[in-house]
Amino acid sequence: MTKVYAALIFITLFLGSNYAFSQIDTSRNVVPDTTDLNTYKYQEKLLENTLEDSEDSKLLDQMEYLKTKPVDLNKASREELEVIPYMTTMIAKKIFDYRTYNGNFKSKRDLLKIDGISQDFYEKIKVYVVAKNSKTDYVKDESGKVIKESEYLSSNVFKNIDIKFRSRVQSDLQERQGYKTGDYPGSPQKVYNRLTGFYNGNGYDIGGNLTIEKDPGETNYADFYSGYLELNNWKFVKKVLAGDYILNFGQGLGLWTSLSYSKGSEAVDVIKKRSFNIDSYRSTNEVQFFRGAATNVEYKNYNFYFFYSNNYFDASIDTTLNEVSSIYFDGYHRTISEKNRQNAGMESLLGGRVFADYGFLRLGATYWTSQFTKPVGIDSSKQLYNFSGDKANMVSVDYDVVYKNFNIFGEFARSQSSHVAGLSALQISLLKGANAIFLYRNYPENFVPVHSFGFGENNGNTQNENGVYAGLSLKPIKGLSVDTYFDQFKFPYRTYSNPVSTSGNDFLLNSEYKFSKGFLVYMKYRNKNKEESRTVTDEYDRSVKKIDNRNQMNFRLGFDYDISGDIRLKSRYEYVMVKYDNYGGNNKGFLFYSDIRAFMTKNLSISTRFVVFQTEDYDSRVYEFEDDLKGVMSNVGLYGKGTRWYLVLRYKPYNFFEATAKYSATYLDGVKSIGSGNDMIDGDLNNRFNIGIEINL
């Protein structure tokens, strides 16, 4: 079977290569600057370390939103520029200052005139920015057609109105145990529909959204629904929003309700959190949002934020104590027990924020308070310091100072437990092509957050951790970039998993070399040591918990090769080794894949990958970030021995319509079943078919 798929991919590569070389439009070579909307390698670098297999991630949604509505270089504030992936505060200030002293950008390539913006950095951000009315900026859209960017962004069917409809159906093709037993009464399809609309007025815009979704096994096709209405940039009112929204302020210690970039191949640029402040919610994570109203008012150098929310959450209720015993975040409502906990609890939240911008110095202060309809109980045997009770609050102060090539930023927050957590960082632009960052965080065990997502080893668990992070990014010679970091961390207090204090460290070295504009070779080495509790058998044949040091080494080698504007090849090999100092259990594994993306015809593109993997245990699983339908983030963890392959077809016959289909299949050698419980599949095959459409009017 493996040889058959390998042969199919080889044939596809051969035919695709012949097609690409025979059909290249030479007129494209004279285009002054073209932004390829089909380039995903920079996006993948930011998302591959989230280790999340999320059907509709807010983090991915924000990146896709910026691609469809890029930031206007001639109007954006510094704060709006900073939400662009890879953008640093220092570069954002330089862009803002350049526009102030030199006038509007005539083209995106004018960014290269700014000190500190290299060609490599420009390639990373240009898909997220636009110079309105530029006559030299072009885009290559999803169908492979190259047109002026100004025409692409104004190609709506209705003038001043932007309507987008997204629909998709995802389905496992093998029947899981829950459907056989009747525990999952609904259909196995995951069904998603989203309608978004914007009206661009004279200096303001009005927008709205409605999202409905059904998970596999659920019976209600609107089991989850979400929506909002918003008004933006009307006089001194920057935003008024009613419905579902998220709040992201400062560095995430006081209030942050979505995922953020974590430690990875980019050692410096992505460590500082980028805040959308109040942002509309268009995703389907059923807990990471607020439901109510929020507004942002601007007066001179000050921004004022006010927000109120009344939102339900899934929970198990202890009827004896009349309190919440457990809170659930998966959003599934299939079985009787899952339905019983649906919307069993509710939180009412009220708060505000003031933000002052003095140019070189920006200060923010945030306060919120919330109340739960039923007290939240806690099992002290699991974690002594965790939120309990029916009331919570938080006050935080964040700061951001820019002076020449230095950026100092951080945040301090005090929870209802009266204990303070803090984070401070210094980012430096050392030389041309060299950047460094130093960050210290201290999250006490008795700091009890409810809506926090601070930087750390346990990314998002802003509690019981302190550590020092140092990152360095270098470009020593033309074409070569090197990123490295070292993170030393400690968990001072016991947790449910570890009965005593534990510590660890994390080192990464990532290097990339561009042999030519289209050929990139990369290497990544990561070594992490982390103490953790293990259950072992002692000399009296008793099961006891002991602390052991776990060392994991990952080595990755790969290349990207853009043969032409119409065909791209990619291959990667990754090896992982897990070792334990004291009690054995060492295991290892590897993964190899090769893929191709190509435009087969004028309106049809293909993406296919073939994967071979073998690991000795789940402990040494290897992740691979995959191409998928828009809005679907697939970061698949593979373990055992087997193969996986997928095929993605995108068809865009009209500028306003796009259809995408994906088939994926994983074969595990020597197994009789996959998964467990209601999710178990009989046999060695786990395959899935996804289909989706996009209509942009």
| Residue 389, phi-psi category: left (phi > 0), alpha (psi -120 to 50), beta (remainder) | left
Query: Which residues, 6 or more positions from 661, have their beta carbon under 8 angstroms from its beta carbon?
Result: 648, 649, 689, 690, 691, 692
- The predicted pLDDT at position 157 comes to 66
| Successive 10-residue mean pLDDT values, the chain, 697 residues | 43 38 36 74 74 59 83 88 87 90 90 86 89 84 78 74 93 94 94 93 90 95 95 92 95 87 84 87 86 95 96 90 87 92 93 94 96 80 68 96 93 95 94 88 93 87 94 91 96 84 95 89 96 86 89 96 87 96 93 93 91 95 91 89 96 90 96 93 95 92
Please check whether residue 25 is in contact with residue 609, taking contact to mean a CB–CB distance below 8 angstroms.
Answer: no
HSE toward the beta carbon, residue 38, CA cutoff 13 A: 23
Residue for token pair 């065990």: 445
In whole angstroms, what is the distance from residue 36 CA to residue 144 CA?
9
DSSP assignment of 451-500: S---SSSSTT--SSEEEEEEEEEE--STTEEEEEEEEEEEE-S--SS-SS
> Are 509 and 303 within 8 A, CB to CB?
no
Please tell me what DSSP assigns to residue 633: B
| Fold topology of 33-132 | DNA polymerase; domain 1 (1.10.150)
pLDDT at 379: 55
Q: How far apart are CA 407 and CA 667, in angstroms?
A: 49
Encoded tokens for 184: 């999952």
CB atoms within 10 A of CB 115: 10
Please count the other Cβ atoms lying within 10 Å of the Cβ belonging to residue 655: 17
Residue 25: the pLDDT is 38
Q: What does 267-297 look like in DSSP terms, one character per residue?
A: SSTTTS----EEEE--S--SSSSEEEEEEEE
The single-letter DSSP state of residue 92 is: H
Which residue, 667, 628, 635, is CA-closest to 649?
628
Distance from the Cα of residue 610 to its chain's centroid: 24
DSSP 132-176: TT-SSEEEE-TTS-EEEHHHHHT--SSTTEEEEEEEEEEEESSPB
For the chain, which residues make up each domain, given as ranges? 33-132, 248-431+440-454
Q: Give the per-residue pLDDT at 326.
A: 86
Could you tell me the two tokens for 631?
Answer: 């809005």
pTM metric for this prediction: 0.88
pLDDT at 59: 75
DSSP state at residue 256? B
Residue type present at position 624: E
| Separation between Cα atoms, residue 349 and residue 529, nearest integer Å | 39
Residue 670 CB: number of other CB atoms within 10 A?
Answer: 8
Please give the Cα distance from 322 to 341 (Å, whole number): 14
pLDDT of residue 30: 37
- Tokens standing for 576? 């992982």
Neighbours of 170 (CB within 10 A): 21
